[in-house]
């Protein structure tokens, strides 16, 4: 009887893993938070509109995310905090102000935003369990991102931030 429970449990785990692989979900580690998500879906949507969004960005002298100290060299323990802040940032300050006259681009932005919302919910759960400790370094790095953003008008800053989404996605990929 004990053996049958073991095999049933093993079978269940294998089914769950197959479902995760089928939809492209992978486990990402942001400090103590383990989040299952599909970056392929987000990256695919972004790739489809990247050229269009980046062509709308007329300010080439400023960057929101690639400031020399924004996402580089973040301690593992601070990754949960910074990713939590970044997802809130994209939901509150970026996706809201990135509407274009192109319905295809708007649908892709909406799809990316929906994916972010789903991931954000998982991050909030982890954050609410007090697993995300926000140290001084992560707070300073996020404040630098906000300073970069707030140095531009809302629409320009939102377009620039969306155009730099690949920087965030690449950084997230490194958290696997």
Any domain includes 31: yes
Any domain includes 74: yes
Any domain includes 12: no
Nearest to 62 by CA among 144, 171, 169, 166: 144
What distance in Å separates the CA atoms of residue 130 and residue 95, rounded to the nearest whole number?
27
Across all residues in the chain, what is the average pLDDT?
83
Task: State pLDDT tens for residues 74-93.
Answer: 888 888 889 999 999 999 99
Domain that holds residue 99: 26-173
Query: Which 3 state secondary structure label does DSSP give 31?
Result: coil
Any domain includes 16: no
Any domain includes 4: no
Number of domains in the chain: 1
Task: State pLDDT tens for residues 158-172.
Answer: 999 999 999 999 989
Query: Which 3 state secondary structure label does DSSP give 35?
Result: strand
The pTM of the full predicted model, rounded to 2 decimals, is 0.81
Any domain includes 17: no
Specify the pLDDT at position 2.
55
Any domain includes 13: no
Q: Look up the CATH number of the domain holding residue 112.
A: 1.20.1250.10
How is residue 55 written in tokens?
């062509």
Any domain includes 86: yes
In whole angstroms, how far apart are CA 96 and each of 5, 56, 106, 173?
49, 16, 11, 25
């Amino acid at each position: 009887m004990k053996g049958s429970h073991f095999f049933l449990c093993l079978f269940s785990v294998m089914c769950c893993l197959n479902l995760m692989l089928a939809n492209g979900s992978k486990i990402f580690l942001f400090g103590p938070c383990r989040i299952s998500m599909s970056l392929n879906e987000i990256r695919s949507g972004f790739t489809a509109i990247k050229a269009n969004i980046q062509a709308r960005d007329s300010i080439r002298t400023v960057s929101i995310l690639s400031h020399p100290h924004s996402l580089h060299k973040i301690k593992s323990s601070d990754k949960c905090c910074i990713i939590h802040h970044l997802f809130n940032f994209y939901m509150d300050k970026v996706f809201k102000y990135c509407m274009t006259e192109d319905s295809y681009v708007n649908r892709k932005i909406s799809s990316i935003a929906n994916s972010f919302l789903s991931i954000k919910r998982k991050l909030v759960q982890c954050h609410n369990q007090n697993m995300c400790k926000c140290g001084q370094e992560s707070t300073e790095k996020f404040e630098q991102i906000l300073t970069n953003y707030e140095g531009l008008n809302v629409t320009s800053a939102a377009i620039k931030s969306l155009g730099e989404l690949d920087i965030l996605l690449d950084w997230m990929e490194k958290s696997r």
